[in-house]
Amino acid sequence: MLVKLLKGDPLEEQSLAERGTENLLLYAPEAGGCQAGSRFLEDTKVIRKSAKEQLRRPSRLRFVDNGIMTTPAGENVVPQNCTVALLGFGTVGSSVARILCERSNPHLRLTHILNRNVARKKVDWLPSSVQWTENIDDILSSSTDIVVEVIGGLQPTEEWIRRALQSGKSVVTANKQLIARSGAELLALARQMKQQIQFGASVAGGVPVISGLQEGLAGDDLFRISGILNGTCNYILSQIESHGIPFATALREAQKLGFAEADPTEDIDGLDARAKLAILARVGLHCQVNPESIVACSISAIDSIDFDYARQLGCTIRQISRAELKKTSNGNELFVAVQPALVDLASPLARVEGSQNLVVATGTYGGETVFGGHGAGGHPTAVAVVSDILAIANFKQRAQFEKPDVAPALEKTCAVTADFATRHYLRFSVKDRPGIIASLATILSHSGINIDSVLQKPDCPKSHLPFLITLEECKASLVEKALQQINTLDFMVQACLHLPIL
């Protein structure tokens, strides 16, 4: 690959491979600026200077055609062996071990596995050299380079990860709840100990969204991230939509097929997705947000009739996690929520079926970038874990000769709110009688809310009559305040279902 600077510059062309750089900057005079991937940066003078400084900086490594690293003197650099200890040998852990043992990489070696009841867990396809243990101290006192945590939970995993970093070991984890709550502290500890902690598998399983945000979109100014982050919810909603079955039936099918846990609360109530969204907000938008401060709404109130109404509006329903950073006169404001929502059928989010995940990142310069794929399962998640292991191994290799820049991005101070301004979907179930629409319209009007449309399916029982009101764009807080009064009216059979229309 070549970097091209201004015509006539003494550094008009330089081989990136020869300079050991991993960044690509293309100067395009005809485009009026510098191009990084598909993103244009307008300040050409700054970029030109940055590119020249980057190319003139002496590099201690070169890459020859066969991909072997060499020193400036031309001596080959022999890759060091990197040893790995695995905490947990469940679905993901066993898949990680299988990939490490089956892939041909003589410089990456699994040495330890920690699990309860190791006598029951041992398998014959692992090398006999792998040491099994039930004691974390056996791993922390060893010479292992990388500790991989795939046990889950907050404790004792957080304590173990801290001790691993303090003992000079880098860490890979797929633990979304831990990273969402303590990620910033663990990253700071890793930098203090000159180690790394990678967590690419903590969001969207095998989809490389974390590395995509950290590296692939580092040149953009991201201000919005939205997506489908929970495969269980997406599978259940897809089943309700395609088969017209009740929520409870779809949940039972998901549990039977292994897509939902015996206790599905964390998934269907949005708690799993909000932990992932907190991670994405920090990585992509550089906003630290406690997952408990993110509003999360359950999908359990969604019925097949909601998909009927959604289709009439040109939409479908998905559990959407979204975070949007807005700069106001009072500072930065982070709008963030996890909730079922109506999405336009033309949206990429509407086309996600089954247990797939999808993330859409929107930036000032690059527009929308979409990441999609399998968000769960042993093998997809294990691929993300092993990719993080390889990233750390490569980092350690480069660190022998260069001092990589691991300075953290500056995090913004943000006020957190769920008060998005959107159109709204209100599905009512009432005991039919004259004057219901008039009563609802009066309350909405007094709240400063305009009705956009009213839809009602024919031939529904009058004792439990469903109908739909859509609202013009307004803040969610106005609607919720009006619904507090509406839900007390004597003709209401059940609480109104309120969904945003995106």
Question: Based on C-alpha coordinates, what's the Rg of the chain?
Answer: 26
Do residues 501 and 449 lie in contact, with contact meaning Cβ atoms separated by under 8 Å?
Answer: no
Residue span(s) of the chain under CATH 3.30.70.260 come to 421-501
Among the listed residues 121, 176, 256, 276, the single catalytic one is 276
d(CA 283, CA 212): 10
What pLDDT was estimated at residue 76?
Answer: 44
Say which residue, 216 or 81, is predicted with more confidence.
216
pLDDT at 60: 41
In the chain, how many H helices and how many E strands? 16, 24
Torsion of CA 31, 36, 39, 44, to 10 degrees: -50
Report the C-alpha gap between 350 and 47 in whole angstroms: 39
Distance CA 190, CA 21 (A): 24
Query: What local confidence, expressed as pLDDT, does residue 107 receive?
Result: 81
> Could you tell me the pLDDT band of residue 204, with boundaries at 50, 70 and 90?
confident
pLDDT band at 402 (very low <50, low <70, confident <90, very high): low
Query: What's the pLDDT at 237?
Result: 95
- Residues 139 and 461: their CA atoms lie apart, in Å, by 65
Q: Where does the chain hold its CATH 3.30.360.10 domain(s)?
A: 220-373+413-417
Distance from C-alpha of 244 to C-alpha of 251, rounded to nearest angstrom: 13
Alpha-carbon distance of 403 to 387, in angstroms, equals 22
**pLDDT on residue 238:** 94
Is residue 276 part of the annotated active site? The answer reads yes
Q: Tell me which of 79 and 331 has the higher pLDDT.
A: 331
Element (H, E) at 423: strand 421-430
**471-484: average pLDDT:** 97
- β-pairing, 62-63 vs 69-70, is antiparallel
Mean pLDDT is lowest, of 13-27, 159-173, 326-340, 377-391, for 13-27
Give the model's pLDDT for residue 367: 94
Structure tokens at 271: 């708690």
Phi, psi angle pair for 391, to nearest 5°: -60, -40
pLDDT class for 146, splitting at 50, 70, 90?
very high
| Segments of the chain assigned to CATH 3.40.50.720 | 82-198
pLDDT of residue 409: 58
> What are the CA-CA distances from residue 471 to residues 345, 451, 456 (Å)?
19, 5, 15
Contact 133, 114 (CB under 8 A): yes
The pLDDT > 90 percentage for the chain reads 65
The CATH number that domain 421-501 falls under is: 3.30.70.260
Percent of the chain with pLDDT over 70: 81
Share the mean pLDDT of the chain: 83
Specify the pairing of strand 421-430 against strand 492-501: antiparallel
Quick one: tokens of 158? 């957080």
Q: What is the mean pLDDT of residues 364-386?
A: 88
Residues 320 and 228: beta-carbon distance below 8 Å: yes
Beta-bridge partner residues of 171: 147, 197
Higher pLDDT residue, 26 or 351?
Answer: 351
Greater confidence (356 vs 466) lies with 466
In the CATH hierarchy, which fold is given to the domain comprising 82-198?
A: Rossmann fold (3.40.50)
Q: Would the pLDDT of 380 be above 80?
A: yes
More confident residue, 73 or 30: 73
Do the Cβ atoms of 229 and 204 come closer than 8 Å? yes
Residue 37: predicted pLDDT: 37
pLDDT band (50, 70, 90) for residue 327? confident
Q: How confident is the model at residue 400 (pLDDT cuts 50, 70, 90)?
A: low
CATH of domain 220-373+413-417: 3.30.360.10
Residues 408-435: what's their mean pLDDT? 89
221 secondary structure, DSSP code: -
